[in-house]
Homo-oligomer: A and B are copies of this chain.
């Protein structure tokens, strides 16, 4: 049972769109990720997903709107809702989602990560 310091963990990796696991509770995982650029349109059929912004600004595009998240803000995306994260500049994100969640949801692409690592 060790505490996790977000800033220290974010220093351990540099690749974008590659979430790292930093915690697990009640079948849910806490993941850290760095985003930059455009992700792919996708949805998660069975999992709600939470994005909390630790640093930077993240735009999340939906079919009918864009939500802009700044540091200290979070958004919960219900299962089944198509979305596409876009980060003009690097953004540091903490994710909460079930351990079963695939990063690209229902979409398979070069960005799909089937195996996530703990850091």
Given A50-B30, A67-B3, A24 and B72 touching (CB < 8 A)? Answer: no
Residue of B nearest to A4 (CB): B74
By the criterion CB–CB under 8 Å, are A23 and B74 in contact?
A: yes
**What interface size band does chain A fall in?**
20 to 34
Chain A, 52-80, contact with B by CB distance < 8 Å: what is the 0/1 string? 00100000001000010110111111100
Contact of B72 with A6 in the complex, beta carbons under 8 Å: yes
Knowing A67-B3, A78-B1, A81-B1 are in contact, say whether A49-B73 is a contact too (CB < 8 A).
no
Q: Given A1-B75, A25-B78, A30-B74, list of 8 further CB < 8 A pairs? A: A1-B77, A2-B75, A4-B73, A6-B72, A23-B76, A25-B49, A26-B48, A30-B50
